[in-house]
């Protein structure tokens, strides 16, 4: 029974929090559904229900859950481990937001955001100072033979010339390889970097993981243009109209080839973002293209999550899996979609030590649902100004036994 509890909790989250595309059932329809439930003695025993004639709302939900609950999606993350070589922590330098790791010519490759110097926030001279650690970044890359000791190879994609859409910062990068070509998608900011600035997504491509890289002249994705700020004050919480879930920023892009198309997953931030019962209002969306270079068209089903922060997605079983972390009522869940759009909770996991996860794309992601999470990269805040890249591991959790107790 214990192995089922996690999945039960996950589906409970789904029923309570996930936005449903169907019309809410009437009381009569709900009663009809309840009448169809077959309450067996085995099910009563499995769920530990005291009295089948006195069912709480929680028990009624539990009785409608699938009866073949397993733990194949349930994992636990390790503590983060420092890297060696050039990616070890370096005072005065920011290295963060690692891309997925790919393996080419016997070496691992990773791309990341890099900047130098402390952050001043929005209280100083925003035109000349550095607002955030990810401000005034360029995209660099490194290689490794073992995934532990890394050599920094140099600059991959630089900020644009003054006046371009990416002249302030390029950061939070992700890699995609498709048909012997390499594609980097990333966030961009144009100066001045104030609290109402609207981040966009850029793209670069190359015939080699070592470059050179050709950048898109225009962004491939922009925020929705249907929110309305209130007044002229630089206050991102004052709005006349909030607009779509991504009316302020589009963040953390990741492109996956899927069913003959290209799915660009991203994090959306809304104008006038609130703190709700789940924390920050952060949701994910997807834009789809026929070609890696675009154009990318946002799905009419957006948003496709109720929670999340950085994008962490991978193909599995002819669908798309996602690790949802940090923000919202469905945080710390692993979800799966049969079509890349409609996601369901598969497990609720006990916290995630890794952040801005760089997946190991060389893993056999079809071996089991979470095989791609067995090893990867993360970043850590060494202090308020500087971050470094570290590694993580995870493992499936299938038993729970006390010290000295024989596990089943």
Q: How many residues does the chain have?
A: 408
> For 204-218, how does the pLDDT look when each residue is reduced to its tens digit (9 = 90+)?
999 999 999 999 999
153 with 127, same domain: the answer is yes
Q: Rounded CA gap, 408 and 172, in Å?
A: 43
Question: Which whole-number Å values give the CA distances from 95 to 27, 138, 309, 386, in the listed order?
Answer: 54, 10, 19, 8
Mean pLDDT estimate for the chain? 90
227 with 332, same domain: the answer is yes
96 with 29, same domain: the answer is no
218 with 268, same domain: the answer is yes
Q: Does 406 reside within a domain? A: no
CATH number at residue 265: 2.115.10.20
Strands (E), 350-403: 358-359, 375-381, 387-396
207 with 154, same domain: the answer is yes
Q: Running DSSP on this structure, what letter comes out for residue 324?
A: E
Q: Does 408 reside within a domain? A: no
Q: Does 31 reside within a domain? A: yes
Q: Rounded CA gap, 204 and 253, in Å?
A: 13
Question: Which whole-number Å values give the CA distances from 45 to 41, 263, 348, 400, 408, in the listed order?
Answer: 6, 44, 23, 20, 19
**Hey, is 102 helix, strand or coil?**
strand
117 with 161, same domain: the answer is yes
Containing domain of residue 6, as a range?
2-63
Its pTM stands at 0.88
Phi first, then psi, for residue 335 (nearest 5°) are: -125, 160
Q: How many domains does the chain have?
A: 2
Q: Which of residues 216 and 10 earns the better pLDDT score?
A: 216
Identify the pLDDT of residue 214: 98
CB 243, CB 228: distance < 8 Å: yes
Q: Which of residues 375 and 9 earns the better pLDDT score?
A: 375
Q: Does 245 reside within a domain? A: yes
Identify the pLDDT of residue 338: 97
Closest CA to 359 of 321, 388, 404, 407: 321
Cα 151 off chain centre by: 26
49 with 123, same domain: the answer is no
Question: Which whole-number Å values give the CA distances from 371 to 58, 77, 132, 361, in the listed order?
Answer: 33, 13, 34, 10
Quickly state the pLDDT bin for 36 (edges 50, 70, 90). Answer: low
> For 41-60, how does the pLDDT look when each residue is reduced to its tens digit (9 = 90+)?
989 998 999 999 999 999 99
Which of 63, 85, 112 is the last residue in one of the domains?
63
Closest CA to 223 of 167, 165, 173: 165
Which of 63, 83, 114 is the last residue in one of the domains?
63
34 with 127, same domain: the answer is no
Strands (E), 18-148: 75-77, 81-82, 84-85, 93-96, 102-104, 107-116, 138-144
59 with 80, same domain: the answer is no
* Six token digits for residue 83: 């890297």
Q: Does 46 reside within a domain? A: yes
118 with 172, same domain: the answer is yes
Segment 138-151 mean pLDDT: 98
Residue written as token pair 């636990």: 76
36 with 167, same domain: the answer is no
Q: Does 306 reside within a domain? A: yes
Q: Does 401 reside within a domain? A: no
Quickly state the pLDDT bin for 285 (edges 50, 70, 90). Answer: very high
Q: Which residues contact 5 (CB under 8 A, 6 or more apart)?
A: none
Task: Tally Cβ neighbours within 10 Å of residue 332.
Answer: 18
28 with 143, same domain: the answer is no
Q: Rounded CA gap, 170 and 151, in Å?
A: 21
> For 101-134, how does the pLDDT look when each residue is reduced to its tens digit (9 = 90+)?
999 999 999 999 999 999 999 887 888 889 999 9
> For 218-236, how does the pLDDT look when each residue is reduced to its tens digit (9 = 90+)?
999 999 999 999 999 999 9
Q: Does 69 reside within a domain? A: no
């Amino acid at each position: 029974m214990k192995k089922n509890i996690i999945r039960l909790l996950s589906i409970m989250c789904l029923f309570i929090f996930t936005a449903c595309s169907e019309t809410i059932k009437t009381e009569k329809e709900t009663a009809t559904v309840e009448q169809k439930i077959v309450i067996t003695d085995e099910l009563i025993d499995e769920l530990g229900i005291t009295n089948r004639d006195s069912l709480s709302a929680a028990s009624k939900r539990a009785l409608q859950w699938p009866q073949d609950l397993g733990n194949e999606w349930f994992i636990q993350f390790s503590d983060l481990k420092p890297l060696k070589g050039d990616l070890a922590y370096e005072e005065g330098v920011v290295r963060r937001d690692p891309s997925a790791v790919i393996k080419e010519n016997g070496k691992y490759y990773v791309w990341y955001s890099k900047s130098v110097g402390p952050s001043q926030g929005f209280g100083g001279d925003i035109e000349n100072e550095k607002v955030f650690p990810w401000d005034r970044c360029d995209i660099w890359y490194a290689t490794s033979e073992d995934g532990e000791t890394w050599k920094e190879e140099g600059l991959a994609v630089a900020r644009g010339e003054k006046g371009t859409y990416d002249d302030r910062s390029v950061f939070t990068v992700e890699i995609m390889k498709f048909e012997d070509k390499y594609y980097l998608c990333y966030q961009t900011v144009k100066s001045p970097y104030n609290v109402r600035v609207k981040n966009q997504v850029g793209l670069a491509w190359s015939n080699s993981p070592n470059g050179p890289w050709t950048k898109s002249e225009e962004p491939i994705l922009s925020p929705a243009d249907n929110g309305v700020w209130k007044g002229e004050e630089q206050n991102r919480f004052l709005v006349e109209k909030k607009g779509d879930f991504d009316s302020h920023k589009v963040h953390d892009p990741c492109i996956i080839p899927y069913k003959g198309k290209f799915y660009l997953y991203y994090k959306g931030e809304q104008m006038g973002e609130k703190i709700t019962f789940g924390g920050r209002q952060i949701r994910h969306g997807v834009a789809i293209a026929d070609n890696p270079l675009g154009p990318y068209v946002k799905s009419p089903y957006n948003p496709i999550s109720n929670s999340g922060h950085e994008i962490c997605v991978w193909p599995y079983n002819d669908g798309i899996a996602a690790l949802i972390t940090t923000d919202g009522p469905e945080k710390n869940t692993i979800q799966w979609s049969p079509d890349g759009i409609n996601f369901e909770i598969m497990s609720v996991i006990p916290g995630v030590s890794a952040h801005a996860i760089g997946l190991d794309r060389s893993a056999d992601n079809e071996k089991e649902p979470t095989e791609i999470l067995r090893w990867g990269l993360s970043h850590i805040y060494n202090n308020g100004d500087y971050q470094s890249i570290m590694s993580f591991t995870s493992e499936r959790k299938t038993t729970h036994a006390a010290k000295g107790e024989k596990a089943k």
